[in-house]
Amino acid sequence: MAPQPLTFGLSNDNENWDRFGLGAEQVGVFGGSEIWYFLILTDGVELRYRLDTQGSYRLYWNEIDARWDLMTCEKPACGRALDEGE
């Protein structure tokens, strides 16, 4: 099954959400808050995460569960140069 377009929400209080979207191979960098909450909705399945502002995360299509998911990376920017693919 092909991945669905990615739309997600970010919040610094887990109540008021801003909506964003990313295309394939795009990189997003977000700052400005000490705490971030992240919400992904795929076919009615909602996943919420509390993010560490010092962490790096990668969004990926989870083939087994057929949904977008989030993984924590060991390296900053998940080992990607921020200008990669530009």
Domain boundaries, the chain: 6-25+32-79
The tens digit of pLDDT for each residue in 3-45 reads 677 888 999 999 999 998 877 666 677 766 778 899 988 888 8
The confidence score (pLDDT) of residue 55 equals: 78
The predicted pLDDT at position 13 comes to 92
**Which amino acid makes up residue 26?**
Q
Note the pLDDT tens digit of each residue in 41-59: 888 888 899 988 777 888 8
Flag whether pLDDT at 84 surpasses 60: no
Q: Predicted confidence band at 80 (pLDDT cuts at 50, 70, 90)?
A: low
Q: How many CB atoms lie within 10 A of CB 27?
A: 15
pLDDT at 81: 60
